[in-house]
Amino acid sequence: MFSDEYITSKKILFVSSEVFPFVKSGGLADVSCALPKALKKLGHDVRVVLPRYWSIDKYQYNLKPVIAPMGVQMGNCLVWCAVFESKIDDIPVYFIEHEQFFGRSGIYDDGKKAYYDNAERYGFLCKAALQLCRDINFKPDIAHSNDWQTALLAPYLKTWHAYDSFFRNTASVFSIHNIAYQGIFHPNSLRFLGIGNEHFTESKFENFGYINFMKGALFFADAISTVSPSYAREILAEPGGNGLGPYLKRRHEDLHGILNGVDYDCWNPETDTIIPAKYSLDDMSGKAECKKALQREFWLRESPNVPIFGIVARFTPQKGLQLLAPIIEKLVTEMLAQFVFLGSGEKNLEDFFGGLPAKHPGTIGAWIGYNNYKAHLIESGADFFLMPSLYEPCGLNQIYSMKYGTLPIVRKTGGLNDTVWSYNEQTGEGTGFCFDAIDPYALYYTIGWAVSTYYDRPEHMRNMKKLAMSANFSWQTSAEQYSRLYEKAINRRNSWW
């Protein structure tokens, strides 16, 4: 995909709507923490920018004031804000504080409905990030934006700042973490955002009469990435492209699938301080302790020789839980197995899975919401991890699971297809169990396949756990690929002029 040229140090502005540990609603937060750390290890000067949401406690994270006030010129007004700073492994992390935009209990919505001014909120974040660079005299070689929330960085650099000497040498990279969420808004926001009518066209921002943030980024970004090679291929056509397939196809030479890595500082059974007992390939005894603790935590029968299937997921259609719902009770009545669920999302799925423990006590456990301890406990204590996703740009939990010797059961899509090696019953090799069809019974028979392997072929289970735990998906390789993508973006920007 890239040549092996020497990686030179770059100044990188990395802007995201969420960054772990400060705020998290999904995998974007993990990537926005781990990738900057990996880039810094390669010698890059990285600065991270995100909103200072109401939930981010200034005292807990030792936020220090940097600029107050800072004026940000939007399309039809000057907006004032404050900037605070913290650190992740000596990487400066800047927080844009604006009470009207970010002083709310939710991130993108109030729990039921998306905030009516999300276009203004995240357009402002992009402009504030660029203004911050000016005020601290940080001239980025690369402005790296992530998903629709920060998609306007690239258009701003190509329009407002096109002939600005400060950003004259700044190239843009736009990363698609999930193309299903594109940032589609009413054109009433155009004036505030400073997007001229000449850019509200079918090839740029216009989308059936509305503004599409992601579509604009696909036109203006110097390079585009997404989070796995398979997903990069899937989004070039419909339905994978969610309407943007033709526009991505126009930029296919600038689109690169770079597999997300995993922060093994956080997800490693040898060093994990959250789980009840550490363990490794050489000594797996701690996994049995974790399994016992998992059964106690979720009120399951303490049966060391019964397989546990775990799920940690957002309860949304993407995650394929609607494939599991019709068969879950058939599974627990026909197979000797236990199931644990951790997640939240759509009310009907919360009610269904949240109600199963009362109907099947000792066999099914559930916790509606997110809990970091329970998530680590499921990864370490379960025997199998379920990810029957309808689509999955990359996925991280299947990679976490493999490191913990918890074999994933996945549908062959996106990053799941790129990371899980399906079990070969003849050789006893593989790192998980894969299926293709979007069908409840395809999942049912794959779970049955896993159960039969657990009971009938224990030597294959041991070999698969060894292979899974030995797999390496560290961020170093991914960071090196991003470094080369940055070089390509700079070259393309230079050719733009």
* pLDDT tens digits, 406-458: 999 999 999 999 999 999 999 999 999 999 999 999 999 999 999 999 999 99
CATH class for the region spanning 11-261+476-496? alpha beta
DSSP string, 397-431: HHHHHHHTT-EEEEES-HHHHHH--B-BTTTTB-S
Are the beta carbons of 338 and 307 closer than 8 angstroms? yes
DSSP string, 338-358: EEEEEEEE-HHHHHHHHHHHH
Gap between the Cα atoms of 54 and 107, Å rounded: 9
Gap between the Cα atoms of 420 and 411, Å rounded: 10
Per-residue confidence in pLDDT tens, the chain, 497 aa:
554 455 799 999 999 999 999 999 888 999 999 999 999 999 999 999 999 999 999 999 999 999 989 999 999 999 999 999 999 999 999 999 999 999 998 999 988 899 999 999 999 999 999 999 999 999 999 999 999 999 999 999 999 887 889 999 999 999 999 999 999 999 999 999 999 999 999 999 999 999 999 999 999 999 999 999 999 999 999 999 999 999 999 999 999 999 999 888 889 999 999 999 999 999 999 999 999 999 999 999 999 999 999 999 989 999 999 999 999 999 999 999 999 999 998 999 999 999 999 999 999 999 999 898 999 999 999 999 999 999 999 999 999 999 999 999 999 999 999 999 999 999 999 999 999 999 999 999 999 999 999 999 999 999 999 999 999 999 999 999 999 999 999 999 877 54
Mind listing the pLDDT tens digit for each residue in 284-342? 999 999 999 999 999 999 999 999 999 999 899 999 999 999 999 999 999 999 999 99
∠ CA(213), CA(414), CA(253), 5° rounding?
60
The answer to the question of whether 24 is labelled as a binding residue is yes
Gap between the Cα atoms of 192 and 171, Å rounded: 24
**Which CATH number is 285-472 given?**
3.40.50.2000
Q: Enter the pTM of the model.
A: 0.90
Strand-pair partners of 88: 91
According to CATH, where is 3.40.50.2000 located in the chain? 11-261+476-496, 285-472
Gap between the Cα atoms of 486 and 12, Å rounded: 9
